Every structure is written in C-alpha cells, then in structure tokens.
C-alpha cells in the first residue's frame, strides 16, 4: 500500500490533487504512472483509496475509488515524558511510538528537566513520516510542553509513574489494567524530584518499575509503552 497523509482529505473527496513537492516525489523518485492505486489518510482513521489520473512533476491527481473510516482503538496509551537534552533521541522515540500506535504524547517540564523548549511541529513531522511508513491511519496527538503541576491538574485517567526512588512498586506488566486508557509518566535523566514523586502519589498516580536496569529517558518511554501495549492486547513477547 502506498500511503500518503493530508489533513484536507475527507470521505466526500472525489478527486485529490497532491501539492507540488509530493507530485515531484511521486514522479521523479517513486516513478508512479497513471493508473497506480494510492491511499491517503487524515490521521484520524480515514482510509481514502484512489487511482492516479494525472501524473506530472508539477501536478499529480487521483480519482476516488472508495473511502473507509476506521474505528478508533478502544485501548489508548498516553505517554507523559520529560524531553531529553538531545532532540535526536526524542525524535527517535516519537518515530517508534507512532509505529507502536500510541495515542498521545505530552512533553513534561520537571524540576530536573534537561530541555525546557521543544519543537512540537518537528515531532509532528517525524510522526507523520512514521505513520506513512508503518501504514497506520491514526496519528498520535503531540501536545505542547506542559508543567508537572498543570499535568497533574489535567489528569483524567489512571496513571502510572516510573521513578527510581526506593519505594514499593509493581512492574508495568504486573499492574492490573482496569481502564481502556492509561497514562505513563517518565521523568528526566535525573529522575523526578522527591517533591514531584510525593505530589504524584498524593494525586493518585501509581508508582511502577521498568526493571532492575537504569534506562535512558527515551528508552524508558518506549519500553514502558510497549509493555502496556502488550498487556492491553493480551500479547506476550
């Protein structure tokens, strides 16, 4: 399947015209011809299938064959994570989490945060590329950088917090999932502060462990979400 992303596509669209950059890519790089079947998505579950009707480096058009609206996944994972100092490491994580099918990513500003400015639009571009590569129809929502306190106040679903403080914890795989939506909080390289851990516990977040090793922030985020994904879908490694 040749998948493209565009927010303007709808189930009612009868003919779609690619922008100039995508038209050039289709003709010069992918070397597609009239009659080639392509698929577009809006990142919200739409699968629009069409056939190329006009092909040139300046303009490529596709005529609709059919459109299908996929039902959003019942199981949702929301990762709340402190951005790493290196943008490359965060971008890698966003790519992999998009492939996994995570629903939401919120960059979190903590006491020990290494990075206090994030480029959300850059993360979205990475997610779109991963969406097309992994042939999915739901794009994760990537929210602006949010302070620890603001995120606590916005809490709307069961939440787990992974920290290194010596307290009683279950592993993610041992946690009983009683809700279709869950959030996982991952701190910066210096971990959450003791005050943040206390505030999180008071707010009802459940402390969890990711194992005996110490992981980089982006590794912890991916590992934790993957463990939740397996548990939500009753899968095993």
> Which helix H or strand E contains 201, and what residues bound it?
helix 194-203
Ramachandran sector of residue 191 (left: φ over 0; alpha: ψ -120 to 50; beta: rest): left
Task: Give me the domains of the chain, ranges plus CATH numbers.
Answer: 3-69 (2.40.240.20), 76-232 (3.40.1280.10)
| Average pLDDT, rounded, for the chain | 92
- Could you read off the pLDDT of 108-165 as tens digits, one per residue? 999 988 888 899 999 999 999 999 999 999 999 999 999 999 999 998 888 999 988 8
Q: 187, 146 in Cβ contact below 8 A?
A: no
- Name residue, tokens 């009753």: 234
Residue with tokens 């005050």: 195
- pTM here is 0.91
The model's pLDDT over 25-56, given as tens digits with 9 standing for 90+, comes to 999 999 999 999 999 999 999 999 999 999 99
């Amino acid at each position: 399947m040749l998948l493209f992303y565009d927010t303007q596509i709808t189930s009612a669209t009868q003919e779609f015209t690619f922008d100039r950059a995508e038209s050039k890519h289709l003709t010069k790089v992918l070397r597609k011809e009239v009659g080639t079947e392509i698929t577009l998505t809006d990142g919200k579950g739409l699968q629009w299938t069409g056939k190329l009707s006009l092909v040139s480096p300046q303009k490529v058009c596709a005529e609709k064959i059919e459109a299908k609206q996929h039902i959003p996944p019942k199981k949702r994972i929301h990762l709340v994570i402190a951005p790493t100092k290196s943008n490359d490491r965060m971008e890698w994580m966003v790519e992999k989490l998009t492939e996994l099918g995570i629903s939401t990513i919120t960059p979190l500003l903590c006491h020990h945060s290494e990075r206090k400015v994030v480029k959300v639009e850059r993360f979205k571009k990475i997610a779109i590329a991963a969406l097309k590569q992994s042939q999915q129809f739901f794009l994760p929502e990537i929210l602006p950088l949010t302070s620890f306190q603001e995120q606590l106040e916005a809490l709307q679903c069961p939440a787990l917090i992974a920290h290194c403080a010596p307290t009683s914890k279950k592993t993610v795989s041992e946690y009983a999932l009683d809700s279709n939506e869950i959030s996982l909080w991952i701190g910066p390289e210096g971990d959450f502060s003791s005050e943040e851990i206390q505030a999180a516990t008071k707010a009802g977040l459940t402390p969890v462990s990711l194992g005996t090793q110490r992981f980089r922030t982006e590794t912890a985020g991916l590992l934790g979400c993957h463990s939740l994904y397996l548990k939500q879908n009753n899968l095993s490694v």
